[in-house]
Every structure is written in structure tokens, then in C-alpha cells.
Amino acid sequence: VITAYNPLGWEHSDFIRVPVNDLHLVVKGSDGSFVDSQLVEVDNVTSNLRKLYVKAYLGINTDKPPKYWLVFQASVPPMGWNTYFVSKPKGA
């Protein structure tokens, strides 16, 4: 579950990136409709930088860093929020 919040007085639309390892994911809006999404491969520089931050701030080593960004566009009403659901497709 991903909740996007908009503190502005007008509708706002932007892209959300979520780190994932699974290739087979779908995004649904709060009304159950499918939201277009795509997977973007995480490059080595970003992966290494992420490992450094996790070690520095959490004190743990990550043995399985995310391989992909799940990217989708979120539209949020003025001074409100919208909820998105990420899951594996049925039958997968």
C-alpha cells in the first residue's frame, strides 16, 4: 500500500518510484482500476550509493538490494491523499 499526500490547494500529479525486486507487479488505484506502471532497472551507481546509506544510517549490510524501480503516475486531490495498491497479478 502506498499513500500519496498533497498539502497543496490544487490537484497535483507526479511520478512515484518504489524500489522492488519482482518483475511481475501491478498497481491499482483506490477504486480498483489498474494504473499504468513500468519497471526501470536500478543502475550500479544508485545501488552502491543505497548500500552505503543503509550501512551508515541503519547499521546493517544489505545482501539483496532492489533491482528495479516500479514507476507510476499518481494524481492527488487538493489537500488530500490517494492510495495505491501494489501486488502480484492474479495467476502469477
The number of C-alpha atoms within 13 Å of 36 and in the hemisphere containing its C-beta is: 3
Residues 6 or more apart whose CB falls under 8 angstroms from that of 36 comprise 27, 72, 73
Residue 43 has pLDDT above 70, yes or no: yes
Residue 92 lies in a domain: no
Residue 48 lies in a domain: yes
- Contact between 37 and 26 under an 8 Å Cβ cutoff? The reply is yes
Residue 50 lies in a domain: yes
Residue 90 has pLDDT above 90, yes or no: no
pLDDT category, 77, cuts 50, 70, 90? very high
Q: What number is the average pLDDT over the span 53-58?
A: 91
- Contact between 42 and 58 under an 8 Å Cβ cutoff? The reply is no
Q: What is the CATH number of the domain that holds 44?
A: 2.60.40.1180
Domain span including residue 83:
2-87
Measure the CA dihedral 24/18/82/29, to 10°: -10
- Domain count along the chain: 1
Question: Taking CA 71 as the corner, what is the angle to CA 49 and CA 57, rounded to the nearest 5 degrees?
Answer: 30
